[in-house]
């Protein structure tokens, strides 16, 4: 009876692991950038110069992505005592985050990776929510190849006043990535929409003049949402 129970447990465990193994299947035709993929090379070299002076300890929390992370200058203070390594750069896209994964993420041997990147669909060359999702899937696959058990978080694309007319695309992208994240047992989706809306629209008081990037109050709200999620791990 004991042997039979052990076999059943093994079968159940295998089933659990199989059910939580992410599928990296692509949904759309590949998208090729219409810009130089290394256009933010100087910023990456600046990070490397910082690392040469003092390399962050392994096992930290790497934040990677676009300007909403890059401009979060108080992230280490706001999220303390969590070991934050902020490597947001430029006005990057997920294609560029993927391109620089080795140099801005994997080299730190992090325990946790947090991604925020919202620019993929707002360039000159059209890119669908499905293609944006596929790029994030490819990024995840690359990370998992080297760090199979690293904890990952995707922060939802935020509701920005300057891009509100394309909110349905943003919602679709968030939905697709959220569905992918569910298939991965070390992966979570962090929804920042509720804290950034007022009467069903973006709260203008938490944005700077460009109606895209956030002010201190915006980051305070992000801290209230993101810090508890990261702290529980």
Looking up residue 126, the CATH number of its domain turns out to be 3.40.50.1110
Q: Is residue 23 part of a domain?
A: no
Q: Is residue 10 part of a domain?
A: no
Q: Is residue 30 part of a domain?
A: no
Q: Is residue 216 part of a domain?
A: yes
- Is the pLDDT score of 6 beyond 70? no
Cβ contact 104:44 at 8 Å? yes
Q: Is residue 20 part of a domain?
A: no
Lowest mean pLDDT: which of 10-24, 36-50, 123-137, 211-225? 10-24
Dig out the tokens for 229 from the structure.
């999620």
3-class secondary structure, 38: coil
Provide the pLDDT for residue 18: 45
Q: Is residue 66 part of a domain?
A: yes
Provide, for the chain, the percentages of residues in helix, strand and coil under a 3-state DSSP scheme, each rounded to the nearest 5: 50, 15, 35
Instruction: State the pTM of this model.
Output: 0.91
Question: How many domains does the chain contain in total?
Answer: 1
Q: Is residue 3 part of a domain?
A: no
Q: Is residue 127 part of a domain?
A: yes
Range of the domain at 174: 56-231
Mean pLDDT of 144-167: 98
Dig out the tokens for 143 from the structure.
């990370």
- Is the pLDDT score of 27 beyond 60? yes
- State percent of the chain over pLDDT 90: 89
Q: At what angle do helices 167-182 and 129-146 cross, to 10 degrees?
A: 30
Provide the pLDDT for residue 20: 58
- State percent of the chain over pLDDT 70: 91
Mean pLDDT of 61-74: 98
The Cα–Cα gap between 62 and 77 comes to: 15
């Amino acid at each position: 009876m004991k042997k039979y129970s052990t076999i059943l447990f093994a079968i159940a465990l295998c089933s659990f692991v199989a059910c939580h193994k992410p599928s990296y299947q692509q949904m759309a035709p590949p998208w090729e950038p219409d810009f130089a993929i290394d256009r933010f090379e100087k910023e990456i070299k600046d990070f490397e110069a910082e690392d040469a002076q003092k390399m962050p300890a392994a096992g930290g929390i790497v934040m990677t992505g676009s300007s909403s992370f890059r401009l979060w200058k108080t992230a280490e203070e706001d999220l303390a005592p969590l070991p934050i390594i902020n490597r947001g750069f430029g006005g990057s896209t997920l294609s560029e985050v993927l391109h620089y994964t080795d140099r801005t993420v994997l080299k730190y041997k992090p325990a946790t990776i947090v991604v925020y990147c919202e620019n993929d669909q707002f360039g000159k060359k059209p890119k669908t929510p499905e293609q944006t999702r596929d790029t994030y899937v490819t990024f995840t696959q690359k990370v998992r190849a080297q760090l199979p058990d690293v904890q990952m978080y995707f922060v939802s694309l935020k509701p920005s006043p300057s891009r509100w007319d394309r909110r349905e695309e943003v919602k679709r992208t968030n939905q697709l990535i959220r569905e992918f994240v569910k298939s991965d047992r070390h992966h979570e989706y962090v929804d920042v929409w509720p804290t950034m809306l007022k009467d069903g629209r973006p709260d203008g008081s938490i944005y700077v003049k460009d109606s895209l990037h956030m002010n201190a109050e915006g980051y305070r709200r992000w801290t209230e949402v993101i810090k508890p999620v990261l702290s529980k791990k």
